[in-house]
Structure 1
Amino acid sequence: MGMTGFIGRAMLASVFIKSGLDHLQNPEPIVRAARGAEIPQPELAVKINSGVMVGAGTLLALGLAPRLTTTALAVGLVPTTVIGHPFWDKEGKERQHQQTHFMKNLALFGALLALGSRRK
């Protein structure tokens, strides 16, 4: 993969690394959402998901284990998207805001699928 691929991978990975670090430093809003969605052991679930985002994001940025890292990030993105951005429960501007984030996460999911399916 050339320089463009490296830059693209690093840019994609940066979203996950930053979010994971933010959630590790300030887990309470995410824990509240997980608790509201009746996720078992929400504190632990948030720590694990945040650690996966930082670890897999870093490996992705470095180009190491691309299939494993893209799969791990994609799997973690599903509950994050559904629990974190339930636009269907909102109205007005909040609905638009959550729908935008939901769609952004779908785009990230698509990018992970595309990158993970590439052959070296």
Structure 2
Amino acid sequence: MSVTRFIGRALLASIFIKNGLDHLQNPEPIVRAARGAEVPEPELAVKANSGVMVGAGALLALGLVPRLSSTALAASLIPTTVIGHPFWDKEGKERAQQQTQFLKNLALLGALLMVTAQD
């Protein structure tokens, strides 16, 4: 694996590892959002999603099973983005902030898809 690819994967993984650990340490805001979106078993869903973020993020950072780990992260990022950043329900400054976060997550999704498609 090239040094550039290794660094790129590690940098991409870093946000998932950090957010996963944050959500495991302070799950309540995320659980509230999941409950509001009528996610079944919101506490379990948040723990599982956080575990995927930490575990798959670590694997991606180390360059171990990058296609599988990036696929797992992409799959977890889709509901996280839709539930966590519903800009369409907001107005004014809050709408702009949520839309920015939504688009940031779409950019991360694009990067994960690129890792998944690499040779």
TM-score, length-scaled by structure 2? 0.99
How far has the Cα of 1:67 moved from its partner?
1.1
Instruction: Name the counterpart of 2:33.
Output: 33
Instruction: Name the counterpart of 2:82.
Output: 82
Instruction: Name the counterpart of 1:46.
Output: 46
| Matched residue SS, 2:118 | coil
- Listed as ranges, the matches of 1:32-111 within 5 Å are 32-111=32-111
How far has the Cα of 1:66 moved from its partner?
1.0
How far has the Cα of 1:40 moved from its partner?
0.4
Moved over 3 A (4+): none
How far has the Cα of 1:118 moved from its partner?
0.3
Q: RMSD in angstroms over aligned alpha carbons? A: 0.5
CA distance in 2, matches of 1:71, 1:60: 10
Instruction: Name the counterpart of 1:18.
Output: 18
Instruction: List per-residue Cα deviations over 1:46-103 (Å, max 9, x = no partner).
Output: 0000000000000000001111101100000000000000000000000000000000
How far has the Cα of 1:111 moved from its partner?
0.2
TM-score, length-scaled by structure 1? 0.98
How far has the Cα of 1:17 moved from its partner?
0.1
Q: Amino acid of the residue matched to residue 62 of structure 1?
A: L
Determine what percentage of the aligned residue pairs are the same residue.
Answer: 77
CA distance in 2, matches of 1:47, 1:38: 16
- Consecutive unaligned residues in structure 1, runs of 5 or more: none
CA distance in 1, matches of 2:83, 2:50: 15
CA distance in 2, matches of 1:16, 1:107: 13
CA distance in 1, matches of 2:116, 2:64: 11
Instruction: List per-residue Cα deviations over 1:4-52 (Å, max 9, x = no partner).
Output: 1111110000010000000000000000000000000000000000000
The count of residues paired between Structure 1 and Structure 2 equals 119
